[in-house]
Structure 1
């Protein structure tokens, strides 16, 4: 609506990358007014963040795009090492586990970032939202009641603002929030550093290769004195993602430069690269914002943490930032939860981001393999401020496992949506009555992944509260703005 020529909204999201779009979708399905603005005229065109970890697939499924991700993506191919134009050996750079009842996605999934963003934008529009493209933030002011954002298209007044505008975040810089480089990250020695993980610059590009020049069955890796070059087929497209390291010199990102690079470091000829669709250069960095919140403004995604791409953690950690923050903003704006609930965003997400930065850096340097930790299924909030109690095989803060239910549905089907779920597993203890909108109750048989007990599953799929009976549950719900929706 308009008030004195100032547009008003509940949440202003700056940036239409995977993080900003995921947050827009989550808020839209909660009935929270949100506006996503993007300074570029269109979505990001490159494949850059192509790896989707199992935990993020669960998140995307909950947001309603699981089928689209399955249709347009595919499993990561096995690596093929080349030497002097000959195939040397295959190797698998990922941990691959068979799907289980508790963990339905066992291996990373590949899909170019531009496709992920297209899918999320389509979902946002389906939910009634939209992105205002060619709209840049030039400044902001905040007070006790909200934030006034100065945009190139006019001012916007919002209750809260979320910076999802990338590693060079305009919002973060306007707030004066510093980024701590690798040497000063939590758990490391040293003072604030530049954050450079590897001084060698890198080039990333989306290219098309003649069909008879290179197969799409493997992730092709060539090593040489100037650094490695890899060509990864991108599922659902005719493209390969090219990534190359430069131990000397600077990358030439022009189409001619990319073709010359391929000819110099592989057995392919320059003419075998039939099209260069997008290219960019970068230096791998690891940096963490000193804080994720300033009053009514929050940092999320690359605005809060910048990763080396080697571990496939950046996009995934970013989407999960949005997943954590979305339900909390919804509780405050729609159900009257105390604003103090929003403090838990930084308390829960900043330690996770720091851990993932360390992991991606070690993987980049060859100090650690892409094992179970990279899949993010083991991440949780046991030490977080919203975790209370334990029951059966789980503690509060743990990821709530999937599995079959007595009614024939999957638990993830029961959890799917913006609501909390009070799950009774293998117990006939008396349960509260729910309103069916914000808290839903479900009973199921005893199940090894849970054991027996009551488990309050948060909207982001983590256990907030657990116990053998419902005593203490009402006290836990009150600070979440849910005190009025249950009674014994």
Structure 2
């Protein structure tokens, strides 16, 4: 059945009965991450999932450095790191012989301001299990087997109807239900995109004998062959992820026998070397961006808003960071007294980032760009042009940290770290430099010496780890807090008068 959406134009009243504050459709990385973020903010949210369980495949297996920082804040990084491992070097094979290693991406080293230097490999199914466990630990839940049929919204809420079970009434709804998003189609939001590669690809999680687990094994096309084969050990498991490219128009055989034929034809391995196919997919690389990320009280997040080529590992990471951006804003509006207009900044901030990451993924897929932490790690992404970014300093060096940038990590005099001060659903004030006066605000304050990354001055760090406001003194902070409204009523009441 096709979901439908309607706006009745009828107000149900400010105190209209709701079942939950936020209904999240889809229990993928974006939906689960959003559920975790809202749960720790005390927001009553429910995740619903059409399938009977979590996604079973490895698909998005790369966790980029910026997403590791997000997972640190959400309380799941230790479990993620324990479940995964580093990317192995590639091993090129030809006629059954090893031709030599090659790096899959340019190496990088951790630094004081960026503690996570290189991507981590964790199969998507395991990442989702960890996020799900964290959600349950925080008191959240997922309702499986709930197929969305219709969405009706008015000025005070959204009603979702399902193929089975009672309707759910929520103040807001977030469509995180994948590239074929029922929510997006119900809203009538188009996606603009292109086919990245007309050649279909087989992607499968398999058990294989005869290959070491220290390398990403690559079998280039043989003479007269139109495709390649790559078999990558999935860290923390006994599985390999297999990827094979085929001529345009090929009908793929996803069975064990079909996979065995591909492996035998394109490598030195015998068919029986493939002992099991645990998950398989017929993948058609495409890049597409939703024309809007919001319609009234309904938002799009993750693959429902942007579809990536897997090259460069940007899809899952961009999706998680959609959730991280939206979560604190919904929490501020629902629990912190912030104006609803704050939610407008979600699309303003995230859609340009998604567009940029789509372009990068496509360029890497086509061999026009190379993987590196600088390009794919997402540490350099920010929101300088956002209406939430205010920087009152003048004459800054070209490379200075500015409002809208990711707030770097750093050592504190007591041996702790800035990321430790940022951790949690709050704003944080950083006072850098011995002469910088920090006002008494109802938010945690970190006082640091003049810092290589921060220089000197005051920096108000958003709950998602970006600099919201920056100034040489506290002058103007009251205006920012009043305009934005995201620090709650206590800030406006307790802010000293000399900060006006």
TM-score, shorter chain, exceeding 0.5:
yes
User: Does the alignment pair 1:172 with 2:173?
Assistant: no
Tell me, yes or no, if structure 1 residue 75 matches structure 2 residue 74: no
Larger displacement relative to structure 2 (47-56 or 251-260): 251-260
**Candidates 476, 485, 488, aligned match of 2:490:** 485
Distance 1:234 1:396 in 2: 39
RMSD value over aligned CA atoms?
A: 1.2
Q: Which residue of 2 aligns with 1:475?
A: 479
Question: What is the CA-CA distance between 1:154 and the residue it aligns to?
Answer: 1.3
* Aligned counterpart in structure 1 of residue 389 of structure 2, from 387, 390, 412: 387
CA contact (8 A) 2:217 2:231 kept: yes
CA distance in structure 1 between the aligned counterparts of 2:466 and 2:220, rounded to whole angstroms: 42
Query: Which of 211, 215, 225 is 2:212 aligned to?
Result: 215
- Give the whole-Å Cα distance in 1 for the aligned partners of 2:325 and 2:418: 20
How many residue pairs align between the two structures? 465
2:149 to 115, 120, 138: 138
- Which whole-Å CA distance do the structure 2 matches of 1:339 and 1:233 have between them? 46
> In the alignment, which residue of structure 1 is the partner of 2:425?
418
User: Structure 2 vs 1, CA of residues 481 and 55 (structure 1 numbering), >3 Å: closer, same or farther?
Assistant: closer
Q: Which residue of 2 is the match for residue 246 of structure 1?
A: 246
Partner SS for 1:400: coil
Q: Structure 1 7/269 Cα, relative in aligned 2: closer, same or farther at 3 Å? A: farther
Q: Distance in 1 between matches of 2:95 and 2:166?
A: 58
Partner of 1:296: 297
Alignment of 1:193-232 (within 5 A): 195-210=194-209, 213-224=210-221, 225-232=225-232
After TM superposition, the structure 1 stretch with the greater mean CA deviation from structure 2, 299-308 or 468-477, is 468-477
1:7 positional shift: 6.1
Q: Is 1:375 matched with 2:380? A: no
Residue 271 in structure 1 maps to residue 272 in structure 2: yes
| Contact kept in structure 2, 1:285 and 1:308, CA below 8 Å | yes
Q: Secondary structure at the match of 1:97?
A: coil
Whole-angstrom distance in 1 between the partners of 2:178 and 2:59: 13
Q: What residue is the counterpart of 1:163 in the other structure?
A: 175
Instruction: Give SS of 1:11's match.
Output: strand
Q: Which residue of 2 aligns with 1:233?
A: 233
Contact 1:395-1:463 at 8 Å conserved across structures: yes
Partner of 1:286, secondary structure, is strand
* 3-state SS in 1 of match to 2:355: helix
Instruction: Write the distance in 1 (CA, Å) between the matches of 2:452 and 2:392.
Output: 15
Q: CA deviation at 1:485?
A: 2.4
Q: Which runs of 4+ in 1 moved over 4 A?
A: none
Structure 1 counterpart of 2:118, from 107, 113, 126: 107
**Which stretch has the larger CA shift, 38-47 or 80-89?**
80-89
Any conservation in 2 of the 1:95–1:107 contact (CA below 8 Å)?
no
Quote the Cα distance in structure 1 between the aligned partners of 2:435 and 2:339.
Answer: 33
Q: In the TM superposition, what whole-angstrom CA distance separates every residue of 1:173-216 from its partner, at most 9, and x where no partner exists?
A: 001000001xxxxxxxxxxxxx2100000110001112xx0001
Q: Tell me the CA shift for residue 433 of structure 1.
A: 2.2
Structure 2 residue aligned with 1:316: 317
- 1:340 equivalent in structure 2: 341
Shift of the alpha carbon at 1:434? 2.8
SS in 2 for 1:341: helix
Where do 1:3-14 residues align within 5 Å? Answer: 8-14=19-25
**Could you tell me which residue of structure 1 aligns to residue 356 of structure 2?**
355
Is residue 2:460 matched to residue 1:456? Answer: yes
CA contact (8 A) 2:427 2:487 kept: no
Aligned to 2:158: 147
Match of 1:54 in 2: 65
Whole-angstrom CA distance in 2 between matches of 1:71 and 1:122: 15
Aligned to 2:28: 17
SS for the counterpart of 1:485 is helix
Aligned to 2:13: none
- Report the CA distance between 1:365 and its aligned residue: 0.5
The TM-score with structure 1 as length reference comes to 0.93
| Superimposed CA distance per residue, residues 20-46 of structure 1 (whole angstroms, 9 cap, x where no aligned partner) | 000000000000010000010000000
Q: TM-score, normalised by structure 2?
A: 0.91
Partners of 2:412 and 2:450 in 1: how far apart? 9
